[in-house]
């Protein structure tokens, strides 16, 4: 049964991946389904297990292709066209604030403010002021254009920007239209409350912590979309620690564990239930990107395992999280880099770290230096081929940066959150906590800027063919299969 389930999930994923690039029409789905039916009939006669696995594989691949077809056909823009548009729109996500502009994700009302919303989304590039929030109804007057692919400045490869936006059902863009506020609070009530809470906490932090430290803290604690400036973001990329600027799976793990410990005084069932709800709310509040969703699903599975007294297998949790996410949105498999890198990093921790652990005994265990070095090397090795293929940059200082910074991230998140919460009482009450937060953030920024300034801290890599990436991961798979001894994490 486990083998058949593994084959089903694997070939469903393979079908989704194949359909992401090749569309052979419904006849191909029918062909695969027919083949699956024939193999099943053969199995019913012979009862050979291998034959039924062939049937499961073909049918699962057909389902994967069909699932992508559904997403692709229902996601296609039905009626919008390029050209001048004057319409009302609902802001359906948090504003993404950059150094020079704000990105707003909106859905247009079909006729008027009380009419239904269109199915597709539009990415609006607007001025930083006035600011708009999730749930605002705005009026737009400008030109609607189709997005275009572009060439990466670092790797030189073409970035499929059209597919990247399409995975979120965004098929159009508007650049600096005339925008004005019409109405507040037309979004989901729970999301509005969570986003409002986050914004108030961030405002409390900004009142006592200067920039760019406050923006970095917002990214660490809440995944807040605030610009750190192009220069500082480039330094984070050069140092190989860009993952701490946007909320990562590591940060979610810290938050999930903190929630469970905070609620540990409650009866087990109530504590677990509230812990699960807290993780879900946190995922919604932080924007719910692929990395956050993956880590949150795995955290929820841990909660479920503890509540039912079962052993939690991290491999099964990772597979379940990936399958559920692809089932919900099949386009993320091929076109969401954060989804891909997040899963590869977790695979590196689960499978590669135990293989190379023996080579880290020389490092001290104090302050978790050995643990951070091991996890950093394992994840860096595992994501490196795909990262080089997509970005074309290799950070030579990433190992040192991660070892020097990651150990302080939990403390930074704790004191940062406490600073924001204390601000609800009075800014002066939060000052002692803000000093600690500032000191930790200043240290982390110092490490990033110092390492990024070193000669050859980042090296440009020529364009790598995708076949080479697949070959390297095949080697990884063989090495892990040869040397890995499974040691699943239990609850």
In a domain, 156, yes or no: yes
Last residue of a domain, one of 187, 203, 231: 187
In a domain, 64, yes or no: yes
The answer to whether the pTM exceeds 0.95 is no
Cβ neighbors of 261 (< 8 A, separation 6 or more) are none
> Hunting for tokens 């009075």 — which residue is that?
426
> Hunting for tokens 């001048």 — which residue is that?
84
In a domain, 423, yes or no: no
| Distance separating alpha carbons of residues 211 and 76, to the nearest angstrom | 41
Pair 61, 156 in one domain: no
Instruction: Give 154-181 pLDDT, tens digit per residue.
Output: 555 677 888 888 888 898 999 999 999 9
Pair 103, 157 in one domain: yes
Pair 173, 125 in one domain: yes
Instruction: Give 5-55 pLDDT, tens digit per residue.
Output: 889 999 999 999 999 999 998 899 999 999 999 999 998 888 888 899 999
Contact present, 110 and 96 (Cβ < 8 Å) = no
Pair 64, 98 in one domain: no
In a domain, 150, yes or no: yes
Contact present, 211 and 367 (Cβ < 8 Å) = no
Do the bridges between strand 458-460 and strand 170-175 make them parallel or antiparallel, or are there none, so unpaired?
A: unpaired
In a domain, 55, yes or no: yes
Average pLDDT of the residues of the chain = 86
Taking only Cα atoms into account, the Rg of the chain, rounded to an integer number of angstroms, comes to 24
Q: Which two tokens stand for residue 416?
A: 């940062």
Pair 57, 149 in one domain: no
Residues spanned by the domain of 138 = 83-187
Angle at 271 between CA 270 and CA 277, to 5 degrees: 90
Pair 156, 93 in one domain: yes
Contact present, 256 and 279 (Cβ < 8 Å) = yes
Helices 213-222 and 409-422 cross at an angle (nearest 10°) of 100
In a domain, 487, yes or no: no
Cβ neighbors of 78 (< 8 A, separation 6 or more) are 118, 119, 120
Instruction: Give 331-368 pLDDT, tens digit per residue.
Output: 999 998 888 988 888 888 888 888 888 888 888 777 67
Do the bridges between strand 158-159 and strand 150-151 make them parallel or antiparallel, or are there none, so unpaired?
A: antiparallel
Domain count, the chain: 2
Pair 153, 115 in one domain: yes
In a domain, 134, yes or no: yes
Last residue of a domain, one of 75, 101, 127: 75
- 180 forms bridges with which residues in the sheet? 139
pLDDT for res 487: 45
Biggest alpha carbon–alpha carbon distance for the chain: 79
In a domain, 122, yes or no: yes
Contact present, 416 and 366 (Cβ < 8 Å) = no
Pair 49, 117 in one domain: no
Pair 91, 175 in one domain: yes
Three-state SS sequence of 414-473? HHHHHHHHHCCCCHHHHHHHHHHHHHHHHHHHHHHHHHHCCCCCEEECCCCCHHHHHHHH
pLDDT for res 75: 46
Low-confidence ranges of the chain (pLDDT < 50): 75, 77, 486-491
Buried b (16+ CB within 10 A) or exposed e, 408-425: bbbebbbbbbbbbbbbee
Last residue of a domain, one of 164, 187, 210: 187
What CATH number corresponds to the domain at position 93? 2.40.50.140
Pair 69, 92 in one domain: no
Pair 50, 87 in one domain: no
pLDDT for res 246: 66
pLDDT for res 490: 39
Pair 67, 93 in one domain: no
E-strand stretches of 24-66: none
């Amino acid at each position: 049964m486990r083998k058949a389930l593994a084959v089903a999930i694997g070939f469903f994923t393979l079908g989704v991946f194949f359909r992401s690039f090749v569309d052979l029409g419904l006849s191909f789905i029918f062909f695969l389904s027919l083949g699956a039916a024939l193999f099943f009939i053969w199995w019913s006669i012979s009862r050979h297990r291998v034959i039924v696995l062939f049937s499961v594989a073909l049918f699962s691949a057909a389902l994967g292709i069909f699932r992508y077809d559904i997403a692709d056909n229902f996601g296609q823009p039905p009626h919008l066209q390029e050209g001048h548009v004057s319409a009302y729109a609902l802001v359906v996500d948090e504003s993404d604030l950059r150094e020079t502009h704000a990105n707003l994700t909106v859905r247009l009302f079909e006729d008027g403010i009380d009419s239904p919303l269109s199915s597709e989304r539009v990415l609006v590039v607007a001025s930083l002021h006035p600011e708009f929030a999730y749930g605002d109804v705005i009026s737009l007057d400008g030109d609607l254009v189709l997005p275009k692919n572009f060439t990466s400045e670092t790797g030189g490869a073409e970035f499929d920007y059209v597919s990247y936006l399409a995975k979120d059902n965004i098929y159009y863009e508007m650049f600096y239209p005339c925008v004005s506020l019409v109405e507040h609070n037309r979004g989901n009530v729970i999301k509005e409350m969570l986003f409002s809470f986050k914004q108030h906490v961030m405002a409390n932090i900004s009142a006592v912590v200067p920039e760019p430290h406050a923006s970095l803290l917002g990214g660490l604690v809440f995944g807040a979309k605030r610009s750190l400036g192009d220069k500082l973001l480039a330094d984070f990329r050069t140092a190989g620690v860009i993952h701490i600027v946007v909320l990562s799976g590591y940060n979610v793990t810290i938050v999930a564990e903190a929630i469970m410990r905070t609620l540990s005084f409650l009866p087990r069932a109530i504590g677990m239930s509230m812990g699960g709800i807290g993780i879900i709310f946190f995922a919604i509040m932080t924007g719910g990107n692929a990395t956050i969703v993956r880590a949150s699903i795995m955290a929820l599975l841990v909660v479920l395992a503890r509540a039912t007294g079962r052993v939690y297998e991290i491999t099964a949790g990772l597979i379940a999280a990936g399958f559920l996410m692809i089932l919900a949105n099949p386009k993320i498999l091929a076109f969401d880099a954060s989804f891909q890198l997040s899963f590869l990093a977790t695979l590196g921790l689960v499978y590669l770290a135990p293989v190379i652990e023996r080579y880290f005994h020389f490092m001290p265990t104090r302050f978790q230096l050995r643990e951070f070095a091991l996890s950093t090397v394992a994840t860096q090795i595992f994501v490196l081929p795909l990262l080089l293929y997509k970005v074309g940059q290799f950070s030579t200082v990433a190992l040192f940066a991660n070892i020097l910074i990651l150990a302080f991230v939990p403390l930074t998140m704790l004191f940062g959150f406490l600073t924001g919460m204390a601000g609800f009482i009075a800014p002066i009450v939060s000052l002692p906590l803000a000093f600690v937060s500032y000191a930790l953030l200043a240290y982390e920024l110092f490490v990033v800027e110092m390492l990024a300034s070193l000669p050859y801290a980042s090296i440009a890599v020529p364009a790598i063919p995708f076949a080479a990436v697949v070959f390297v991961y095949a080697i990884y798979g063989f090495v892990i299969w040869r040397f890995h001894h499974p040691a699943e994490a239990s609850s």
